Every structure is written in structure tokens, then in C-alpha cells.
Structure 1
Amino acid sequence: MSLTTADTRLDQWERRLEHQMAAAPYVLLVISTALHWLIDERPWSHRLATLGLAALAAAWIWLMGRGPMKALYVTGLVILIAALGTRGLWFVAFFGFTGYLHSWRDLNGKWKFAGVAATAAVSVAAYSGGPPDPTPSGILTYLFFTGAIVALVGLFSFVGDITIERSAQRKRMVAQLEEAMRENAGLHAQLLVQAREAGVLDERQRMAGEIHDTLAQGLTGIITQLQAATQAKADEDEWLRHIDNATRLARDSLAEARRSIHAVGPGPLESTPLPAALTAVAAEWSGLNAVRAEVMTTGPVRPIHPEVEETLLRTAQEALANVAKHAGATRVGLTLSYMEDVVALDVRDDGGGFDPERVRDGGGFGLTSMRKRVSRLAGTLEIESEPGAGTAISASVPAIPRETLRA
């Protein structure tokens, strides 16, 4: 059963109980009058007088019970109960309960007990046939039964008050819970909007990185080959070689761009392990740039998560692109190291180097892209360089097994 359903049922029961409590005085008065009318054998005039007194009691409850003068109302109610009790015990046995209920309901503090005690006093007197005998035993017996009735009525009424307070507390808690649920619904909507915006931003950053790693690098290579072809017009074979290289770069860049759009891994990793893919990338780069590139693998080669392999391969491609654009190197070495918990890629060249302080805040987009890729996998990227002494880039990422699913 849901909270809403249970709360609705409790509210229905409480409303039903309120209606029953409102109708109880009249029902008890009707029962008392009917029993008295059927059993009493006194003259009709006495019965009619009793009926008129009962009607007066009903009118008093109807008119005064809803007004603000509660003390006056309870006083009149107790007097009417006493008067009807002299007409017959049925009124004390049934209608007398109204005095207990309304005294406790309408009076405050110690006056509750005063109203209950007055009702109990007239009830005990009616059962006893009048006031107690003016003897110690008679008075003590009268006080005992009166006190016992007051104690019992007070006990059960106190339990009822606790139940009412618990019900009110439950209603407040339900109201607070509903308010909290409404606030949570608003927060949830805000989180959805923020998550959607974050997803859009992440996708933009991913596309920016992929475009840089594919189209930008490819276009740079194409421009380099076309410029070389322009300078080699006199040598037809050399000219054709550069044109073929530019054409191949254009096809490869187009294929990689399509893969990036569909969030597919790099082509070299489709059917070959990372060491072989890295060797193929280095060999192609070496052929295009006429710079010797050597690849070495250390440690036991094992399958690792595709995203880890893609990160290392993209890092190698970016490092090689930077060497081609800036280093003026004659030799590049790539070392792929499989260790127990991490996989590391080191790219070293013998080029002109640079001042690392100039790129401490991230450097160009290429270095920024490498840092973001590596840090996304909780890895580290370190750059060591010195003007005239070459450059070393080291990327280290966790060796996540291939069967591990992406979080």
C-alpha cells in the first residue's frame, strides 16, 4: 500500500469518526428516551414532561455546543443530565456519556476534570437514588465511585488525546514529506537540465578533440605534402609521391572523421592489438615526414580496455604531429610499457625542444587534448624538454582489463 493510499484511508476513518462523535449525543439521547418511554409505567403527563426535557437537552447541544461559551455549555449539559437522571436511570446509563465526552473536549486544563467529576457526581447520585447518606461510609462510597469514574474517564481520554496528537503529527509529517517531494521533483528537473547541458558540453569537447586528432592533423599533413609536391615539380616521381601521400591522408582523415562522429574507435585498433597499431601509425608517420620512428614494447602484452588503448594511440598520434610541426627532429622513439597496474607510453625525440614553463598551463590545443584524455582515465601526463635537448612525453594510465565495462 502506498503512502498516499494509506493516508487517504486514515483521513476517511478520521472524518467518519468525527461524524459519529457529532451524532453520538443525539443517538444516546434517543436510545435513553425510547427505553424510558417503553419501560416507564408512570402517567402520560410524566412521560411527556420527560420527552420535553429530552428535547430541551437536544436543543441545548445543537445551539450551545457550537458556540464559544464552552464553560456555560458544559454546565448546562451537566444540569440537564442530572435532571434527566431523576426521570430514569436510562438517561444516566447512556446519555450521561455525553457529559464525559464534551467536558473533556470543550474544557481546558483542570476544568476538564471538573466537568468530568460533576458528570460522575450526578450519575452516581442518580444510581444511588439521590444524594449520599450523611454517614462516613455513605460519603466515602459516593466519593470512591465518583473518583473511580473520573480516573477511568481521564485515563481513556488521555489515551485519546495522545492518539489525536499522533494523528496531527502524522498529518504534519505527511505535509512536510509532500513538500519535500515537490522540492525534490524541482531539483530532479534541474539536475536533468544540468546533466543534459553537461552532456552537450562533454560531447562538444569530445568532438573538438576528435576533430583535432583527425581532420586538423590530416589537413596539416595534406598541406605539408602539397607544399612538398610544389617544391618537387622538377622531379616527377617525387612530385607523384607527395600527391599520393596527400590523397591517402585525405582518405584516412575522412574515414577517421566518420568514426569520430559515430564515436567509433580509431581505425588502426579495429583488427590489431595496440603494439601493432602503434607500430603502423609510427611507420606511416615516418614515411610521410622522412623521420625515423622506432617502436619498442616492454612487459607482457595483454588486452586492455578499448578506451585505454584509444587514449594511448591518440596520445602517440598527437605527440608525433607535434614533432613534425615543431621539433625538427631526425629520430623519434616510442616505448609502450605494460606494467602490473598501469600502461605507459613514452615518446622521445632529438629535436630542438622548448621551455616547459611556457606550456605549464596547458600549452596549445594538442597538449590540452592529451591532458584531458589521460586525466579522464585517472592517468598522468608528464612533459620533459629543454631547448636544444629534445622532448620526452610520458603518458601513464591504469591498465583496465578489456572485459571491464565503461562506467
Structure 2
Amino acid sequence: MPGLLDRLGVWRDFLAAEPVRVSAALRLPLICLIAVLVWIWEVDHWLPELYAVILGCYGVAALLWLAAVLRGPVPRWGDWASTGVDLLVVLALCLVSGGATAALLPVFFLVPISVAFQDRPGLTAFIGAITAAGYLTVWIFYSKRDDTVGLPNMVYTHFGFIVWMAVATTALSFVLARRARRLEALQAVRLQLVAEAIQSDERLNREIAEHLHDGPLQTLLAARLELDEARDRNPDPALDEVYAALQETAAGLRSTVTQLHPQVLAQLGLTAGIRELLRQFQSRYDIEVVADLAEVGKPASQSLLYRAARELLTNVGKHAGASLVRVDLRRHADRVILTVSDDGAGFDPGIVGKSLADGHIGLGSLLARFDATGGSMQIFSDAGCGTQVTVTSPPETGPH
């Protein structure tokens, strides 16, 4: 279980640092293009040995950086720092190469583009401005070093194009950042609406459960008591059958009330609620249960997690044909993680989404609920290899 928690945390970190990893992956072909461009132009380098050393170190550093960002969390400064190193290296290559400045012109267009998708307009504008200024600076340096070359008019045209590219990529980054904020706002509204709908559903279930418990169930129990007294006064097989029917109906109604609003969940919390579910499961099915339940208190999403545990255990009992089921409950940071696994027949997880689209509930409904509230449900299964379902609660905003 700790390994699973670690993998989930790493996966969230991976998604959060995705732009940095994309930049790290794109940097390698850029280095190859730099080497090919200069080789095709056959430039007479000013300092060829130093040029080769800088380019070689750049390639090795890019490989090490890519391996680092793929393996672990990336610091917040990693995106702009790595791009700044790109720009410094390109400027250094231009300075030590002399005539290769013209060959490296395409690189000055690619650097601002590589920053634009990070949705940070300020950083994009800064890198774009530095890139344009750097290109003009190295040409001025080259012209001063070699009086026979001078400063071609085309350099100013290139400088203008690079400035235009900087403005365009900044505008693109601004549009992407604004759209990202809109999507975040819409997602927040969606989560709020789903949370309110779930709370409304829970309130309705509680009201119905209280009505059934205080009304029909009490009336049924009173009728059963009167019938029991009548049986004592006048024994009759017909009364015995009616009494048995009343017993079965009362048990079914009590079970319905418990499913609508489990008292143990409201009073003692999620861990006690799942422990009671396992007790009921063992009384109904001849399946060994191995449980490792940590105390997680009463998380805001405990009703959803309880419903998930009940649905998963029901599926194991009715459909899996298993001899063993394992249930783990843990808290990891601001989330609660429930894992239910069995050694049964297994199934194709791909049918879950299709079943929901066809109007069937069950796992598909759970999957939709967790996804809509900011949680997740992962299903690992294969025919004959059992099933493991891991549900992760939405993050809790308050103290836990």
C-alpha cells in the first residue's frame, strides 16, 4: 500500500511539472539541429575547440537534466532556469563561433516558442526580449572583431523578426494562460455543483431513512409484536407463515434504512463503517477477508467512499467467484485511499465506461462520481487474474 501511495504522489508531481519535462525532451533534438546547422554551413569557427566543448557539455547536461526531471519532482524554478541556460549557451556558441551566428539564426526563433506553452506571459516576454537583444549583441561583437564583415542590413531584419516572434509568443502565452484560468474556474464551479448535488442526495437519503424508520418500520414491528401475542394465544401454522413474512419484511426494510443512511458511518466514521460492511460481507459470503484499515476519521467524502466500498464488495461477492478479498484503507496527505482486491475471475475494465454510456450504473456510476468531485478510481483487472480497484477521495480543504 505505501508503494501505491508513493506512485500516486509521483504521478501528481509529474503532471504538475509537465511543461518542464516537455522542454527537457525538446532540448535534445534542438542540440542535434544546432550541430547539423553549423556542420552544413561549414563555418570557419573562431574558437572551434571551445565551441565543441560548449556544445558537448550542453548535450551531456541536457541528458542529465532530462533524466532528473523524469525521475523526481521538479523545483518551481526549473522551467525558467533551464530556458535561461538554453539562451546563455546559444549566445556563448555564437560568440565563440563567429560566422556561425547566421547559421544559428533559427535557434533564436525556437527559444521563445519553447517557453510560450508554459502559460507564463511574463516569462515568455522576458525570454523573447533577451533573445532578440542577444542576437543583435553577438552580431555587433562579431562585426567589431572582424572589420571586414561589418554589420549586414539583414541582421536588422532578422532582429525585427525575432522581436515579432517574441511579441507573438507572448500574446499566445497570454491567451493560453487566460484560457487555463477559465478552465480552472469552470472546473471549480463544476466541483461545487457536484458536491452540492451529492450533499442534497445524502440529505434526501437521510430524510427517507428517518421516515421509513420512524413510520413503516415501527408500524411493521408493532404488527409483528401483536401477531406474536396472537400466536401465543391461538397457535396456528398460518399465523406462523405471516409472522415469518413480517420478520423477513422488517429485516429487508431495516437493511434499506441502513443503506440509505448508515448510522455507524454518521456516528463512528468511515473506518468503523467499512468494518461493519466487512462483517456483513463475511456473514453472507464464504470468502476470506483480509483487512488493513487505518483510522481516517470522518472525511468530507466518507459517504462516497463508503458507497464505493459497498459496491465493490457486492461485486466481489456476486460476480468475482473469489476465495480471498483484501481491503486497505489509508490516509495520504489530504486524501483518503481505499483499495479492494480479490483473486477472482477478473474482467475487462474497458466495459465500465461502456456500461455507463449504455445507462447501467454500478462501477461506471462510481467512476463518474469520483471523477466529477476531483477524486479518482483506478481499475486493474484481467481475465483469470483477479481485480484491484483503488479509489482516491477528493482533496480535503479543512483540517483532517
Instruction: Report the TM-score when normalising by structure 2.
Output: 0.36
Higher relative contact order (CA 8 A, sep 6+): 2
Greater Rg by CA: 1
Instruction: Report the TM-score when normalising by structure 1.
Output: 0.36
